Structure formats: C-alpha cells, structure tokens
Amino acid sequence: MIYRLLRMVRGSYGFVALGLFALLFLTALAFVFLLPVASVVVLLGSILLLVAVWLGGELLGWLERVLARPSLRRGICPTCRSEVVRTEVTLSDDPSLQPPIDPVPKAVLQCTGCPRMFLESGEEYHLDPDFRIQAAHA
C-alpha cells in the first residue's frame, strides 16, 4: 500500500517539479519590469531549489527501493502481490540488434502477474529494447 502510493508519487514527481519551475519562471517574468530585484531573488532561489528537488527525487527512489526489498526477498511482487521468479539475463542472438550500452544485470526478478522486473536492490528494471531476456534452462 505504502509502496504503491510512493510509486505513484515518484511517477508524477518530475512533472510536478517541472510545473513548479515553470511557475517560478512566470513569476520571475512578471517581476522583471515591476521589481527587478525580485526576479533576481526568484532566479537564485530556483537554483538552490533545484538541488532540493533533486535530493527529494533521490530520497523517493531510495525509499521505493527500501520498501520493495522485503517483499522481493519473500518472492512477492511489491506492486501486484504475484509471485516473482528469478530470471537469468542473456543477450539476444539476433545479430541485427546492437549490444546494450548500459551494463546488463546477471539476473532480474520477473513478476508473473505484471510485466515488471526488479533488481536485487529493489529497483525496478526497465528492459532495454535492444535485447531480450531469455528464461533460464534449469
């Protein structure tokens, strides 16, 4: 419940931050001719606020990982409560596909109920479209 709420907040966090900075821009623009000092103060405050907004995003990500880890250790998807299975990651044999730039994890926890995949750290893993995950043959 808390995880899903946090996930929802984190999903819209970037748009809320963008809206906040757009609002600050319009405020600074409105004050340019009326009170130029206020525009400078809003500009400098926005630069400091950017650091705070970035730290808030990092905190949300850390909390999401911390909340996802216990249920992933029990083999349960933190989002839909279905079973997660450990899947080895292998690169596709298709020569037309380029190898991924980002480092590829050795294994991911793949949910059986929804298309989500997670890393051991609790972070959701987004599949690179340049390669496919193949199920382990065991």
Which residues of this chain interact with Zn ion, rule CB under 5 A? 77, 79-80, 82, 111, 113-114
CA–CA separation, 77 and 15 (whole Å): 26
Q: What angle do CA 81, 87, 3 make, to 5 degrees?
A: 30
Of 11 and 45, the one with the shorter C-beta distance to Zn ion is: 11
**End-to-end Cα distance, the chain:** 34
Shortest separation between residue 120's beta carbon and Zn ion, angstroms: 16
Residue 1 or 101 having the CB closest to Zn ion: 1
- The distance of closest approach from Cβ of residue 38 to Zn ion in the complex, given in angstroms and rounded to an integer, is 49
For the chain, where are the alpha helices, taking DSSP H only?
A: 2-34, 36-73
Distance in Å, CB of 92 to Zn ion, minimum: 24
Q: Which is nearer to Zn ion, 22 or 80 (CB)?
A: 80
